A and B are shown apart, each in its own frame.
Chain A
Amino acid sequence: MSILTLLFYAIALLIVAATAMAVTRRNMVHAVLYLVLSFFGTAMLFYLLGAPFLAALEIIIYAGAIMVLFLFLIMMIRLKKLPGMFFPVGQLLPAIFICAGFLAVSSVLVGGNPEGWTPMPAAQASPAAFGVYLFQTHWLAVEIASMLLLVALVGAYVLGRRVRGPSADTRKEAP
């Protein structure tokens, strides 16, 4: 068992624990912070698995941008009271059941693959090589993704705009 293997398990434990904590927090700020921790772990994992560029992106985009966005929102909406029941039983039980089912199915499927049991050699894709590959092979998809981000930008703006029209008022009266 090499040091890398040990490292992997340690990181994996960190990720799972942090995510589990994040999922179960009542306070959403805590949840987001635990999740940031989990994403840091994931970034380390990516590095370990030979994707340094992705590790960097993970930290920048996930842990940085996305989670900050969440924090912004949480602070903006200032919930007066938290939702009544933390985990309603009618929802918790089926959710657990489904998740357990998924886990079981996926582990059986994964475990049934014999060639996946051989340990992998360590390797690394340098950011330069990765960038060349990405823009050689998937340039069109990258462009489309950028368009998508643009659309998301516009969409987020349109949605988030405070509408002061009759529609908003009537909507409130209607029900």
Chain B
Amino acid sequence: MIVPLNHILLLSGLLFSLGMFCTLARRNLIMMLLGIEIMLNAAAVAFVGASLHWQQMEGQAIVIFILAVAATEVSIGLAAILVVYRRTDSVDPAMEAALWEKGGRP
């Protein structure tokens, strides 16, 4: 006997909200991406827990795909951040907005 599923889910929720906080509050594109990673990870935790709960391997299979998506997202995201950085000398998301409003496309 380990723990009830709900404890795992609560842990997952806590992680998710931390990641969300990171994404929403940090004025830094890299940290935002990091927050997204945390959230994806939290989802993975929940899936693994659910997989144990129902004794099904579907959950674990999903985690594989989550990993794939995370890898994809990070590689593209970091490349995009790099582009942004080269053009604006900054990784501040607010700078992006400022550019948008002036009609330029970052």
Residues of A whose CB lies within 8 Å of any CB of B are 2, 4-5, 8-9, 12, 15-16, 19-20, 22-23, 28, 31-32, 35, 38-39, 42, 45-46, 48-51, 53-54, 57-58, 61-62, 65-66, 69-70, 73-74, 76-77, 79-80, 83-88, 91-92, 94-96, 98-100, 102-103, 106-107, 110-111, 113, 116-123, 125, 129-130, 133-134, 137-138, 141-142, 145-146, 148-149, 151-153, 155-157, 159-160, 162, 168, 171-172, 174-175
Contact = CB atoms under 8 A, between A and B. Distances in A.
Nearest to B21: A99
Main secondary structure of the interface of A (DSSP, over half): helix
B34 A73 contact: no
Contacts of A39: 41
Contacts of A9: 3
A92 to B, nearest CB: 5
Contacts of B38: 19, 22-23, 35, 38
Given A31-B34, A77-B82, A98-B20, A61 B1 contact: no
B6 A103 contact: no
Interface in B13-44: 13-22, 24-28, 30-31, 33-35, 37-38, 41, 44
Given A31-B31, A42-B41, A91 B87 contact: no
Interface centre among A98, A100, A103, A120 (most CB of B within 10 A): A120
B67 A62 contact: yes
Contact of B82 (A50, A96, A141, A160): A160
Given A116-B6, A120-B52, 11 more contacts: A19-B15, A50-B51, A66-B70, A95-B25, A99-B20, A99-B21, A141-B65, A145-B65, A148-B69, A159-B79, A175-B99
Interface string B47-87: 01101110101001101110111111111101111110111
Nearest to A137: B61
22 contacts: A5-B1, A15-B11, A23-B22, A23-B38, A28-B30, A28-B31, A51-B63, A58-B44, A65-B71, A66-B70, A70-B30, A77-B82, A83-B27, A83-B91, A98-B24, A102-B16, A107-B13, A117-B4, A120-B2, A134-B64, A156-B78, A171-B104
B96 interface: no
A156 to B, nearest CB: 4
B61 A134 contact: yes
A23 B38 CA distance: 9
Nearest to A2: B1
Contact of A50 (B28, B31, B52): B52
